[in-house]
């Protein structure tokens, strides 16, 4: 099975710039941010509810708790929200004040026709990557990028496993991209 492309910093910036040029810039930027900054899957992004990300007082939550119906594997999952992702959620909510007036159990992200499906999110990612001219990227690229970045930053694999919401450590290890540069840098950390 071919793995989704891991995005570099330049590609992420390019993708965010493309989001800004789309009709639904704030929404699309948040969708990309949820993928790259938390490793959320397309089905999880599509199923996000307002009350998953905002408290009763409309503050961005530190944890996104997803019910089993909102996840892959039919298990309740928790997504840790970074400071950067909190800013992106706040940016979106500020741009969409009507969200605060809607039913808190309603969908956070919507299309013109209603709620997103996992397939619609995947199609949106495909369009954004095409517009950004990033070949071999897919809806899973943000997730792989998130997991690989954690590894590059020295986060222990068991912690990455928890953050990725994988039941198997071997699944997490398959997500981590290892390049020749990373191998070279690794061996150069050892000296006497």
At 129 the pLDDT is 97
CA angle, 97 then 126 then 23, to 5°:
35
Which pLDDT score, from 0 to 100, does residue 73 have?
Answer: 77
Q: What is the pTM of this model?
A: 0.90
pLDDT in tens, the chain (192 residues): 578 899 999 999 999 999 999 999 999 999 999 999 999 999 999 999 999 999 989 999 999 999 988 888 788 999 999 999 999 999 999 998 888 888 888 999 988 888 899 999 999 999 999 999 999 999 999 999 999 999 888 888 899 899 988 888 887 787 777 777 777 777 888 878
Q: Which residues pair with 54 in a beta bridge?
A: 60
The answer to whether the CB of 80 falls within 8 A of the CB of 21 is no
How are beta strands 114-115 and 77-80 bridged, if at all?
Answer: unpaired
């Amino acid at each position: 099975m071919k793995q989704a492309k891991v995005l570099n910093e330049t590609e992420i910036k390019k993708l965010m710039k493309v989001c800004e040029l789309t009709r639904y810039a704030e929404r699309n930027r948040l969708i990309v941010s949820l993928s790259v900054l938390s490793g959320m899957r397309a089905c999880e992004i599509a199923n996000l509810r307002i009350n998953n990300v905002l408290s009763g007082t409309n503050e961005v939550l530190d944890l996104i708790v997803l019910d089993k119906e909102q996840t892959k594997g039919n298990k309740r999952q928790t997504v840790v929200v970074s400071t950067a992702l909190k800013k992106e959620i706040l940016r979106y909510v500020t741009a969409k004040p009507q969200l605060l007036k809607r039913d808190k159990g309603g969908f956070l992200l919507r299309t013109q026709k209603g709620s997103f499906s996992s397939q619609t999110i995947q199609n949106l990612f495909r369009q954004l990557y095409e517009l950004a001219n990033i070949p071999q990227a897919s809806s899973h690229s943000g997730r792989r990028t998130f997991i690989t970045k954690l590894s590059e930053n020295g986060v222990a694999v068991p912690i990455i496993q928890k953050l990725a919401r994988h039941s198997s450590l071997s699944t997490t290890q398959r997500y981590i991209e290892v390049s020749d540069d990373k191998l070279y840098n690794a061996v150069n950390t050892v000296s006497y």
